[in-house]
């Protein structure tokens, strides 16, 4: 009989191995297709203005490094899930124990991963082929919001979830309002996905976050959800192997949208559904994403109200880059911060379950 830890670790190692194996082939296709921006820079920022400082900082790498490297992540996770699912249905012995695809814990995270991957891939293809910025921000937000509403409805109507866990206190009941709340949280996490801007930054941060949620789910007895989160972490680490400076390819929208949507579903799955507090500790565990959203909103507010910038560039990791920090220093310090806040979040989540 396989231990629960083994049921979590084997899918993680499998997705990592698949990613490492698949990466050279993906890189070859992306370079052969010249799958990079034809014009450097963001063009238009979230506040409606230009992004000259960002454009200057990234003018060379953006037009020579392929996008769509995020394919490596979601393809490895989905392939891992399918492999163990098919083996569980065709073989006996220990294989059914490695199948982490089930209705209560992982259907929604897997579907969100796939939906985000597809929508993000369309955005990336438009960006590469037309160089027009891909899908507009309102359209991307609409896609994410609709997926969030669908996820909230599934939790409320199908899984009977109507509250969120609060550390060291009784759950907070939202009733049907859990549906719009679910969508708002999903949108907030997606907004934090703009952290994908420096070599190795997003890959390192997301891999740590998913490792932490694998630990939370493991502590809550959710073996399937823990295996899913660990599988995502393994695939993201494989991506990171090729994304550390100088990056072979960028995660871009197909990776960041897939990961942020999967993270939202994972956080809610490890919350009241399992008697946990997965959502409440999310801002702490994903602190770099939280900082990304807050500093971007502050920048827009400052420009609208005071008619000047609060930061040289927003999100704040680009501000550090603009004031002279080497990109590698920013990236590694973000990794360190994510480890610290992730450990704190994990401790709170596990302690909150103690009788």
Tens digits of per-residue pLDDT, 93-119?
A: 778 889 999 988 999 999 999 999 999
> What's the confidence (pLDDT) of residue 36?
86
Reply yes or no on whether the pLDDT at 50 is more than 60: no
**Residue 188 pLDDT level (bands cut at 50, 70, 90):** very high
Residue 39 lies in a domain: no
257-295 pLDDT tens trace: 999 999 999 999 999 989 999 999 999 999 999 999 999
Residue 238 lies in a domain: yes
Average pLDDT, the chain: 91
Reply yes or no on whether the pLDDT at 48 is more than 80: no
Give the Cα separation of 125 and 121 in Å (integer). Answer: 6
> What's the confidence (pLDDT) of residue 4?
83
- Note the pTM of the prediction, 2 decimals: 0.94
What whole-number percentage of the chain has pLDDT above 90?
75
Structural domain for 247, as ranges? 4-34+65-351
How many separate domains does the chain show? Answer: 1
**Residue 37 pLDDT level (bands cut at 50, 70, 90):** confident
Reply yes or no on whether the pLDDT at 46 is more than 60: no
Residue 86 lies in a domain: yes
> What's the confidence (pLDDT) of residue 229?
98
Largest CA distance in the chain: 67
301-329 pLDDT tens trace: 999 998 889 988 888 998 998 899 999 99
- 46 or 264, higher pLDDT: 264
Residue 257 lies in a domain: yes
Tokens of 353: 């379950």
Residue 283 CA: distances (Å) to CA of 106, 188, 254:
22, 10, 23
Residue 41 lies in a domain: no
Residue 53 lies in a domain: no
> What's the confidence (pLDDT) of residue 24?
96
DSSP string, 135-152: S-HHHHHHHHHHHHHHHH
Reply yes or no on whether the pLDDT at 332 is more than 80: yes
Residue 56 lies in a domain: no
Give the Cα separation of 42 and 50 in Å (integer). Answer: 8
**Residue 57 pLDDT level (bands cut at 50, 70, 90):** low
> What's the confidence (pLDDT) of residue 18?
98
Which phi and psi angles does 163 have, rounded to 5°? -145, 170
Reply yes or no on whether the pLDDT at 255 is more than 90: yes
> What's the confidence (pLDDT) of residue 148?
96
> What's the confidence (pLDDT) of residue 41?
62
Residue 84 CA: distances (Å) to CA of 4, 90, 221, 289:
15, 10, 20, 31
> What's the confidence (pLDDT) of residue 56?
58
Residue 195: which H helix or E strand, with range?
Answer: none
- 6 or 54, higher pLDDT: 6
139-180 pLDDT tens trace: 999 999 999 999 999 999 999 999 999 999 999 999 999 999
> What's the confidence (pLDDT) of residue 170?
92
Q: How many residues does the chain have?
A: 355
> What's the confidence (pLDDT) of residue 113?
98
Which residues, at least 6 apart from 6, have a Cβ–Cβ distance to it below 8 Å?
Answer: none
Give the Cα separation of 134 and 154 in Å (integer). Answer: 30
Residue 50 lies in a domain: no
Q: Which of 47-56, 80-89, 330-339 has the lowest mean pLDDT?
A: 47-56
């Amino acid at each position: 009989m396989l231990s629960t830890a083994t049921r979590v670790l084997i899918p993680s190692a499998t997705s990592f191995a698949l990613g490492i194996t698949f990466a050279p082939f993906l890189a070859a296709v992306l370079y052969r297709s010249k799958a990079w921006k034809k014009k450097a820079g963001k063009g238009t920022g979230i506040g409606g203005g230009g992004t000259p400082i960002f454009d200057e900082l990234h003018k060379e790498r953006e037009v020579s490094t392929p996008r769509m490297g995020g394919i490596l992540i979601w393809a490895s996770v989905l392939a891992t899930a399918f492999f163990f699912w098919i083996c569980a249905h065709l073989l006996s012995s220990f294989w059914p124990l490695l199948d982490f695809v089930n209705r209560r814990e992982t259907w929604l995270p897997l579907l969100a991963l796939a939906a985000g991957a597809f929508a993000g891939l369309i955005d990336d293809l438009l960006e590469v082929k037309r160089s027009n910025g891909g899908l507009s921000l309102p359209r991307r937000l609409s896609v994410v919001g609709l997926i969030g509403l669908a996820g909230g409805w599934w939790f409320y109507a199908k899984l009977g979830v109507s509250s969120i866990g609060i550390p060291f206190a009784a759950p907070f009941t939202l009733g049907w309002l859990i549906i719009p709340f679910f969508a708002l949280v999903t949108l907030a996490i997606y907004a934090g996905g703009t952290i994908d801007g420096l070599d190795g930054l997003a890959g390192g941060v997301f891999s740590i976050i998913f490792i932490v949620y694998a630990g939370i789910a493991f502590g809550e007895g959710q073996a399937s959800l823990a295996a899913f989160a660990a599988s995502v972490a393994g695939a993201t680490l494989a991506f990171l192997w090729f994304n550390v400076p100088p990056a072979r390819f960028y995660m871009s929208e197909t990776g960041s949208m897939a990961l942020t949507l999967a993270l939202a579903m994972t956080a809610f799955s490890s919350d009241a559904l399992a008697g946990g507090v997965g959502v409440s500790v999310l801002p702490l565990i994903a602190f770099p994403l939280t900082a990304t959203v807050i500093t971007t909103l502050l920048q827009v507010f400052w420009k609208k109200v005071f008619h000047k910038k609060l930061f040289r560039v927003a999100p704040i990791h680009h501000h550090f880059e603009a004031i002279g920090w080497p990109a590698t220093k920013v990236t590694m310090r973000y990794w360190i911060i994510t480890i610290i806040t992730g450990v704190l979040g994990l401790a709170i989540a596990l302690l909150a379950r103690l009788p």
